[in-house]
Amino acid sequence: VTIQQSQSQFQSQVMKFYIILLLGFLTAVAAEQGTAGKQQDVNALLWKIYQPLHRNRLKKLTCGFSPISSTSIYTDEGVAAKKIVDEFNCENLLEQKKYFSLFNPKHREETLMLFELFMSCKTWDPCIRNNAAYFRERINENVFVYALYVTVIHHPLGDGVVLPPLYEVTPHMFTNREIIDRAYSAKMTQNPGKFQMNFTGTWKNPEQRVAYFGEDIGINVHHVSWHMDYPFWWKDNYGYHLDRKGELFFWAHHQMTVRYDAERLSNNLNPVHEIYWNKPIDEGFAPHTTYKYGGEFPSRPDNVDIADVDGVAKVREVMAWERRIRDAIANGYVTGRDGKQFSILHDRGIDMLGNIIEQSEYSPDRAYYGGLHNMAHIIIGRQGDPKGKFDQLPSVMEHFETATRDPAFFQVHKYINNMFKELKDKLPPYTREDMMWNGIELEDISVDGNLLTYFEDFEFSLKNALDDSVSVSDVDIMAVVKRINHKEFSYMLRILSKRNEEVDATVRIFMCPRRDNNKILYSLESGRWGCIEMDKFWKKLYPGGNILHRHSNDSTVTVPDVPSFS
Ligand SMILES: *[C@@H]1O[C@H](CO)[C@@H](O)[C@H](O)[C@H]1NC(C)=O
Ligand SMILES: *[C@@H]1O[C@H](CO)[C@@H](O)[C@H](O)[C@H]1NC(C)=O
């Protein structure tokens, strides 16, 4: 547990919070209809994306509207709208009923055209709403879904709208072929059904013991949501700067990796090891997932040597990027395009390192430092068919919602984490003054209840995976999947304050591994890299004894599931 004096801006943040809350309350009455209407639009737009819009109100918009007839609805005089309409008229855009991958530069360019059009909208109705209805019927369905999600997240007009759970919008990306087959059969015979979804593979594969983690629909949604909140392609001219994006890239993936290691340790497996470009990938993977259109996700056998991927990248090139990044860490600075040096040996250095490794638009020199993270996803994902001889589709590694299924995902992120650790280890150690808070003493900490995990059944609707027709109507078809949950518990902290005024404290709680897979005790120094953030909160400390209770439900690292929209 760490207890630190909150920064002085704490007071003003609290004030801001109250003020926003107050404003929110005052405007809520007037704006309520607006948000409810937007919510209905979003739900209708994302319902059965492979079929024409079903809601009459929106359906009407898809014919009578032209994105470029009135440019006054845009902040850029229709520049973004004109661009995508031109591309569409020249038939340059990805057709419907084809796969989409954000890692494909052409696909990404298209989805950003649509996103830029939405971002240039002054109003929801007519601009975002009509354009969304218009393009939904015309461009690739998955391009549309991605563009609409990131718009609702980032456009101020999307505030208050709840995005439906992605596993119900594009169920193919979250379940496997076996379930989809049964769902089709249930629909054709008009028999409602619930199908138990099993994790891919068999117990002959030791990695199967932790498949529940990589294939968990919660971690899949967490991962894709993080990358939508902090897209690598984000440019500040969309409206604002994404603060500490590079650092959060590290933190989000580091936490996923240490969580994975904790699950491995509890299943008698070694911690995941990092990938080496010049050694084989020991773990193969057969995803059993299938695209809505185009076929199955490709597999990879065990022990493949990492080969160049035709038309994408050479392993040598990626190793050169790694060298340059390691040199930057060793030197303590990175260089920009103009040769200017920026030190990274300070508390913002990790942010810059994250931007470089992820291949963010924020990288000071994208040509020189390359795109280690994104390219690693593509290269590892293509190792089943690196020469492209068999015309396979993009792998699970090439979609944020499926990447964690492949054990190699965590090997890649262990490799990246270790680079961040190299930088961390070069920073000067915290001083006693950094760590101490005079007059504040943590006297006792205890946990009421055990941190006991268990599996429970979770159901989600597969309706949107299946097409309708006049003669075949919807029936209830659900996937049932085991998900890990935990029993409730709470922390109790006894803190003595010898200060004679109230102070604001930030409490951070971590859980760290105690023994490794050989049952050898970790030292603080070696174990701390595996610590899992459990909670972080603010509390007032009063002079004298303070007792803080904190319930596991309130943890800032967990969220409830988004309600079903089916
Ligand atoms: C999942 O496993 C259970 C138990 O082995 C089996 O009854 C069920 O049919 C499997 N589900 C699928 C979709 O294969
Ligand atoms: C914690 O959350 C669970 C699930 O939502 C709920 O059933 C339970 O009552 C909550 N416990 C407390 C103490 O709020």
pLDDT (tens digit, 9 = 90+) per residue, 503-561? 999 999 999 999 999 999 999 988 999 999 999 999 999 999 999 999 999 999 999 99
* Nearest CA-CA partner of 492 in 442, 427, 536: 442
- Res 456: pLDDT: 96
For residue 554, the CA-to-ligand 2 centroid distance in Å is 9
- Res 64: pLDDT: 77
Token pair listed for 26: 């005052």
Work out the percent of the chain whose per-residue pLDDT is above 90. 86
For residue 134, the CA-to-ligand 1 centroid distance in Å is 42
Q: 11-163 adopts what CATH topology?
A: Hemocyanin, N-terminal domain (1.20.1370)
For residue 486, the CA-to-ligand 2 centroid distance in Å is 11
Q: What is the domain partition of the chain in residue ranges? A: 11-163, 199-220+228-426, 432-554
Average pLDDT over residues 236-261: 97
For residue 303, the CA-to-ligand 1 centroid distance in Å is 29
Q: Is the CB of 84 under 6 A from ligand 1?
A: no
For residue 487, the CA-to-ligand 2 centroid distance in Å is 10
For residues 1 and 38, the model is more confident at: 38
For residue 550, the CA-to-ligand 2 centroid distance in Å is 13
- Tokens 């593979």 correspond to 201
For residues 12 and 364, the model is more confident at: 364
Q: How confident is the model at residue 61 (pLDDT cuts 50, 70, 90)?
A: confident
For residue 439, the CA-to-ligand 2 centroid distance in Å is 35
* Nearest CA-CA partner of 498 in 547, 543, 443: 543
Q: How confident is the model at residue 134 (pLDDT cuts 50, 70, 90)?
A: very high
Length of the chain: 566
- Res 12: pLDDT: 36
- Res 5: pLDDT: 67
Distance CA 208, CA 57 (A): 48
Distance CA 232, CA 229 (A): 10
- The 3-state DSSP class for residue 505 equals strand
Q: 432-554 adopts what CATH topology?
A: Immunoglobulin-like (2.60.40)
Q: Is the CB of 195 under 6 A from ligand 1?
A: yes
Distance CA 179, CA 200 (A): 11
Q: How confident is the model at residue 33 (pLDDT cuts 50, 70, 90)?
A: very low
For residue 553, the CA-to-ligand 2 centroid distance in Å is 6
Pocket of ligand 2 (CB under 6 A): 488, 551, 553
Distance CA 272, CA 278 (A): 18
Name the maximum alpha-carbon separation found in the chain: 76
Q: Is the CB of 179 under 6 A from ligand 1?
A: yes
Distance CA 220, CA 380 (A): 18
- The 3-state DSSP class for residue 104 equals coil
Which protein residue's CA is at the shortest distance from atom 14 of ligand 2? 553
CB 216 within 8 A of CB 458: no
- Tokens 């979250």 correspond to 174
pLDDT in tens, 169-178: 999 999 999 9
pLDDT in tens, 480-502: 999 999 999 999 999 999 999 99
The ligand whose atoms approach the alpha carbon of 449 most closely is: 2
For residue 212, the CA-to-ligand 1 centroid distance in Å is 15
pLDDT in tens, 320-335: 999 999 999 999 999 9
Query: Is the alpha carbon torsion for 11, 15, 20, 21 positive or negative?
Result: positive
Q: Is the CB of 178 under 6 A from ligand 1?
A: yes
Instruction: Name residue 414's beta-bridge partners.
Output: none
- Res 393: pLDDT: 94
Q: Please enumerate in sequence order all residues whose Cβ is within 8 A of that of 487, keeping only pairs 6 or more positions apart, or say none.
A: 449, 450, 451, 452, 453, 454
The preferred substitution site among 448, 488, 549 for testing ligand 2, maximizing ligand atoms within 8 Å of CB, is: 488
The preferred substitution site among 198, 208, 480, 481 for testing ligand 1, maximizing ligand atoms within 8 Å of CB, is: 198
Q: How confident is the model at residue 21 (pLDDT cuts 50, 70, 90)?
A: very low
Token pair listed for 198: 């099993």
Work out the percent of the chain whose per-residue pLDDT is above 70. 94
pLDDT in tens, 335-379: 999 999 999 999 999 999 999 999 899 999 999 999 999 999 999
Lowest mean pLDDT across 182-186, 401-405, 470-474: 470-474
Q: Which CATH superfamily groups domain 199-220+228-426?
A: Di-copper center containing domain from catechol oxidase (1.10.1280.10)
The preferred substitution site among 196, 457, 462 for testing ligand 1, maximizing ligand atoms within 8 Å of CB, is: 196
Distance CA 132, CA 42 (A): 9
Which protein residue's CA is at the shortest distance from atom 14 of ligand 1? 178
Instruction: Name residue 482's beta-bridge partners.
Output: 457
| pLDDT > 80? residue 18 | no
For residue 184, the CA-to-ligand 2 centroid distance in Å is 37
Relative to the CA of 552, which ligand 2 atom is closest?
1
Which protein residue's CA is at the shortest distance from atom 5 of ligand 1? 198
Relative to the CA of 560, which ligand 2 atom is closest?
5
pLDDT in tens, 146-163: 999 999 999 999 999 999
